[in-house]
Amino acid sequence: MSGATIHKSISIHSFKGGTGKSNISSNTALTLARRGHSVVLLDFDFRAPSLSTLFQMKDGVKYWLNDWLDQKCELTDALADLTSKFGTKGKFQVGFTNPSGDAINEMTQHGLDEAWQARVLQLILDAKDTLFERHGVNFIVFDTSPGFALSSINAIVASDHLILVLKADQQDLVGTEQLIKGVYDQTLGKQPELILNKMPVSILKSKEKYERILGEIQQQLGVRIVSVIACFCEVLENLGSQLFVIAKPEHPFTKSIEHLASHFEKVK
């Protein structure tokens, strides 16, 4: 599939950790590249970077995204080309964040510096234009830090589309509602879409219960649910060894990711 005319930037965010956000971001970005699109996946979870582990790249990174944000290199220098590694039809590049304790502490300090973050926002916007216009990238996917981190806000501001990943528990629902109404609506004017992840299979088996819970969540949060993904033990067991869409191409989780990739291809 050719995606030559597509230019879309997507932030995948959550109120709290443990929702499966990074797993969804990585597998969806890879799926889009396997379909023939040129894809850049950026690890913007500076508080708990995990993509270098997931992609088994901890010792094979020349430049981190940290180096780009500190203006020690160009963004293209900090992108690892994994096209050959995964045999994708489209170019697949990933920007990794330094997972060392010192780097995380440094980025935490930067997160409190509004002037630094304002400079970074302009850096992101310029890089987005460059990737689309000069490098033929079709999709930029930001895997963000959970919550109200300024780095996540920057990614959201720079993105065309916003996906919120949450589990259907009350703590996550209440926090996500605050995030939507307090940040997305009032501050950013952005309308997210929802992915309900790790949904208990017992709920999915009961059509009445399933429809009732989805209706309650959609009414409470006031945004559209684009995907419901069941809780699969196999997904948890696979993390850190191989991306799931490659490990189990016929699994229902992989089918959910393919559906999400199709959604991103179509959404305007």
In 3D space, the residue among 84, 77, 168, 69 whose CA is nearest the CA of residue 122 turns out to be: 69
- Express each pLDDT in 124-179 by its tens digit: 999 999 999 999 999 999 999 998 888 888 999 999 999 999 998 888 999 999 99
Asked whether the beta carbons of 151 and 97 are under 8 A apart, the reply is no
Identify the domain containing residue 141 by its residue range: 8-266
For residue 3, being part of any structural domain is answered with no
CATH code of 39's domain: 3.40.50.300
3-state secondary structure of 184: helix
The model scores a pTM over 0.85: yes
For residue 225, being part of any structural domain is answered with yes
Asked whether the beta carbons of 56 and 239 are under 8 A apart, the reply is no
Q: Look at strands 92-95 and 79-81 and give their pairing.
A: antiparallel
For residue 2, pLDDT over 70 is answered with no
In percent, the amount of the chain with pLDDT more than 90 equals: 65
- Express each pLDDT in 51-98 by its tens digit: 998 898 867 789 999 999 999 999 999 999 999 999 999 999 999 999
Q: How confident is the model at residue 30 (pLDDT cuts 50, 70, 90)?
A: very high
CA distance to 62, 121, 184, 239, per residue, from 191 (Å): 36, 20, 7, 30
The rounded Cα 22 to chain-centroid distance in angstroms is 6
Domains of the chain: total? 1
For residue 117, being part of any structural domain is answered with yes
- Tally of residues, the chain: 268
For residue 2, being part of any structural domain is answered with no
For residue 220, being part of any structural domain is answered with yes
For residue 1, being part of any structural domain is answered with no
According to the model, what pLDDT value does residue 1 have?
43
Report the C-alpha gap between 28 and 74 in whole angstroms.
25
Report the C-alpha gap between 237 and 230 in whole angstroms.
15
Phi then psi dihedrals of residue 169, to 5 deg: -115, 160
